[in-house]
Structure 1
Amino acid sequence: MFAAPAVAVFAVFMFWPLIKVVWISFQKTSGFGVARWIGAQNYQDIMADPIFWTALTNTVLYTLLSVPLCLIAGLAAALLLNKKMPARGLIRAIFYMPAVISGVSSALIAAWMFNEDLGIVNRMLGPLGLEDVPWQSEGLPAMLSLVAVSLWIGLGFNMVVYLAALQGIPRQVYEAARCDGASWWQTLRSITIPSLAPTTFFLVVIGIINSFQVFDIVYVMTGGGPGNSTTMLVTYAYSTGFEQRQQGYASAIGVLLYLIVLVLTVVQWRIGRRRDTA
């Protein structure tokens, strides 16, 4: 009885839309008029669609770059801000601020910063003797700009989660290590990082899911270009469904994205359970 409201909300806003998307994925429809049932034709067309495979490759590359960097940066910031220092609370708030700003706002700021002609990033490269970087006109720099923005946005959340985990490690363990003559590096390697393993696992799962669902910063900063060099699965599904009005095809892309994320999550949870029971 107590769970009924939450179950009802989940059913209306999550479970039913999921069923509806799967149903639409077997149809040819623009969202208007009468839909035509075509079976698995959308999925067959996706398998032969080079843009889909490009979007999948870009999404995997973005995930492989952004998730580890966010973890490392978040842990480094947490280790730094876990120590006593002046204005520690203010510095923590500054680090966390991008996480509470909307993704569109952050992307608009980043688009200005990485503008090839007027952006502050290229203007800072000049005094350093470096050439301007074509952030919007070449594929690799465009992808790196997305990774940089995701690092800026995701660092604060990872930092806060790591900070909570660090403060849960007993101080007596560190005191015993110092009495035994352990260095800072030995303490980090043998105590801190192993103690943070469950937290790291949680952040990896969340990071991969968020990376496969990235949309706002890509849509605002690059629009998937140049060419299709930064097209992700979600942006491709959006453009197919709402710009080209192929909503059956876009729904099929969404179903495949759901299955990919589901498989990755299940695999990670199984690995985590084996590690915990070992």
Structure 2
Amino acid sequence: MPDNTLEPADVKELVRTRYGDIAAGRIADVTAQPASACCGGATPGVGEKAQAMGYSAEDLAAVPDGANLGLGCGNPQAIAALQPGEVVVDLGSGAGFDCLLAARRVGPTGRVIGVDMTHEMLAKARANATKLGADNVTFRLGELEHLPIADNTADVVISNCVINLVPDKAQVFREACRVLKPGGRLAVSDVVNIAPLPEDLRTDPVMLCGCVAGAAPADRVTALLRAAGFVDVAVTVKPDSREMVASWAPGRGIETCVASATIEARKPHAGEVAPCCTSTCCG
């Protein structure tokens, strides 16, 4: 966990409260909030921001209004290579944007499971799925450290700018490995730390909820994934995300400390030896 004054349980409650407020509309003008884009809430131009992250106009037109809250920092589906019939798990599914897009790609023979710890987000996501008649999508209440999903369920685990919010990232990656089938893929868009955070950012609760203070360095993410049993780990920092990151907290210099990144990994096939140890991992 970052070196700040908050305990992990306090961080979790801050995050839960903020995202509940966003989903329920209790934060009416998020542009007046210190963190206004990623992890801040829907702002004018969320469609344009989503397209800048790699979503197409067709993607945006395929989901109901309100499914895209502008909370992401990339497009995990761009690296997930989803196929018809696959089972997808979305960690921190929010209002359902990525789940609903994934449902279109895996088709009626596939299945998508979204997990979120915020009741208000789940209610919004379920309503959005109902509007589309997307009966291959379900949403479950749960924490990423304790996924309400059986072992060896998913072909793909995706997530969009959520894992940085969780203090115990090692446990999140262990759970992701557990629920993946052997050979299953992890495809994540998230924020990573690229330079030490100044004291005012590291200890600011708003920055913990705003995808900044909770970010881990790329090499730490790589080590945690390998320790969880993943192979073929690749964390790719996106230098062109600087302008986007700066807009989350204008004038605070966060773009010099964090950046958007794609995170890819694979669960070993049964019997395959992972480099994290001398015996089979996650098999």
Same fold (TM over 0.5): no
TM-score interval (norm. to shorter): under 0.3
Larger gyration radius, structure 1 or structure 2: 1
Point out the structure with the larger helix share: 1
Q: TM-score, normalised by structure 1?
A: 0.24
Q: Which has the higher contact order (CA 8 A, sep 6+)?
A: 1
TM-score normalised by length of structure 2: 0.24
- More strand by proportion, 1 or 2? 2
